[in-house]
Amino acid sequence: KDEKGVMPAAFVSFKTRWGAAVCAQTQQTKNPTEWLTEWAPEAREVYWQNLAMPYVSLTVRRFVMHVAFFFLTFFFIIPIAFVQSLASIEGIQKSAP
């Protein structure tokens, strides 16, 4: 794996449970959604090889997801617009005499 892969998480260990509990319940920045703290799994339960993701792989995945989102949205808008036009009373009267 890439040693310089992107990792959107950090693991911090504490000497005492009290210190960990205080950190987990304390707001770390002025923006409450910037840093989110939560309890981590045990070290033996983490599959460390899957944590770091190479930047190229991350970029390709983001691009594929954006393209898929565009096509799914575009191809769902056309049938929904057609059904919505039929749902109105005037649309039904025009299509079925």
H helices of 1-97, in order, are 17-25, 55-87, 89-95
Let me know whether 34 and 18 are in one domain: yes
**CA 95 → CA 32, 79, 84, 91, distances in Å?**
53, 15, 13, 6
- 44 vs 67: which has the higher pLDDT: 67
The structure's pTM equals: 0.45
Let me know whether 65 and 44 are in one domain: no
Give the integer Cα–Cα distance in Å for 36 and 28.
8
pLDDT in tens, 18-34: 988 888 888 777 887 77
54 near 5, Cβ under 8 Å?
yes
Let me know whether 45 and 63 are in one domain: no
pLDDT in tens, 46-65: 887 777 777 788 889 999 99
Let me know whether 43 and 74 are in one domain: no
Let me know whether 61 and 77 are in one domain: yes
Let me know whether 2 and 49 are in one domain: yes
